[in-house]
Amino acid sequence: MDQWDDMRVFLAVARAESLSRAAPQLRMDAATVGRRIARLEARVGACFVKSPQGYALTDLGARMLPAAEAAETALGQVAEAAVAQTGQLSGQIRIGAPDGAANYLLPQVCARIGADNPGLEIQILALPRVVNLSKREADMALTVSPPDAGRLLVQKITDYRLHLAAEAQIAAKITTRAHLKDVPFVGYIPDMIFDKELDYLGPLAAGGVQLASNSVAVQAMALRAGAGVGIVHDFALPAMPEVRRVLTEEVSLVRSFYLVRHLSDRKSERLTRFAEAVSAGLRAEVARLEGAFP
């Protein structure tokens, strides 16, 4: 088992090409990951070439990689057998998502899936960027645009809606577009918008964004604190009782969530069942939360 655990650390570093990037996936600190790699290399030889740019595989490491991936696949097959025998999901599954979905939707959805499958460990990876499935940062990911490259399974889950919103006292003063010029805008850091579908404000904020963050949750807290006006997911509004939508007839956006998986996982009953449960749960949760704002 210790040898597989070493292979698990080896795989994470090989895919992340960095101790610090591999550490969160392994639930270790970077120093511990470094010690584990040193222990492995003391036993088998140098697996990585270290440089300021990160960790690159040596010839030995490149030869080890297929065997480590085969061991990973074999362990996955054990989990598949458990699904077939018990009817329940088990083991660890990681889903990546933009932080709007990760903060306001996935906790409820995954809690219900976890309650039905007590042997399952669900990890939600919230990132203000696209999750890299090719490096196995996650088993699957939510995106707001369907990827157009890579060997991937892509499924549209649901549409969702967004509107301009502000703290209640500020919102009461915004009854026409002309009033927007007198209110600061809250939004994304312009050069950190990682998907064109997240470029919500466009010409509305022609004068710039006065308070910006790469996190939807930070933007939400700023709006709750009265920092200005910004675009908010309708499904997030029930968690923001201080905030009200404004100009709903004039400014209304529709975006979509897609579930993206590795093509090689299409035969995995375990991951397919989890994907189906997440998709159904997200559709229901978006409908429930948006239902408060017809």
pLDDT in tens, 23-55: 877 878 888 888 999 999 998 999 999 888 889
Which of 87, 106, 140 marks a domain boundary?
87
Pairing of strands 243-245, 152-167: antiparallel
Query: Is residue 100 in a domain?
Result: no
246 occurs within a structural domain: yes
Asked if residue 268 has pLDDT above 90, the reply is no
DSSP, collapsed to helix, strand or coil, labels residue 162 as strand
Q: In this structure, is residue 241 part of a structural domain?
A: yes
Q: Which amino acid is at 61?
A: G
Does residue 199 or residue 294 have the better pLDDT? 199
pLDDT in tens, 153-172: 899 999 999 999 999 999 99
Find out whether 9 and 40 touch, Cβ atoms under 8 Å. Answer: yes
Specify whether the backbone of 226 is left (phi greater than 0), alpha (psi in -120 to 50) or beta. left
User: What pTM value is reported for the model?
Assistant: 0.73
Residues 170 and 251 in one domain: yes
Angstrom distances, CA of residue 123 to CA of 21, 25, 66, 120, 222: 16, 9, 25, 10, 27
User: Across all residues in the chain, what is the average pLDDT?
Assistant: 88
* Confidence at 1, pLDDT banded by 50, 70, 90: very low
Residue 69, in any domain of the structure:
yes
pLDDT of residue 218: 95
Residue at 132 is within a domain: no
Q: What is the pLDDT of residue 75?
A: 67
The position carrying tokens 């939508």 is 245
The enclosing domain of 52 has a CATH number of 1.10.10.10
In a domain? residue 281: no
What gap in Å lies between CA 57 and CA 37, rounded to an integer?
A: 12
> What CATH number does the domain containing 210 carry?
3.40.190.10
Q: Phi and psi for 155 in degrees, rounded to 5?
A: -130, 125
48-74 tens-digit pLDDT: 998 888 899 999 988 888 888 877 776
Domain boundary among 59, 87, 115: 87
Tell me how far apart the alpha carbons of residues 122 and 281 are, in angstroms, rounded to a whole number.
Answer: 14
**Residue 79 in this model has a pLDDT that exceeds 70:** no
Q: Give a yes or no: residue 113 inside a domain.
A: no
Least confident of 78-87, 94-103, 140-149, 239-248: 78-87
Q: Scan for tokens 């704002």, then name that residue.
A: 293
Number of alpha carbons in the 13 Å side-chain half-sphere of residue 84: 8
List the Cα angle 256/262/263 in 5-degree steps.
Answer: 105
Count of domains for the chain: 2
Average pLDDT in the 188-213 region?
Answer: 86
Residue 6 belongs to domain spanning? 1-87
Amino acid making up residue 65? L
Distances (CA, A) of 114 to 109, 121, 137, 170: 9, 7, 21, 40
Residue that finishes a domain, picked among 87, 102, 119: 87
Q: Does 58 map to a domain?
A: yes
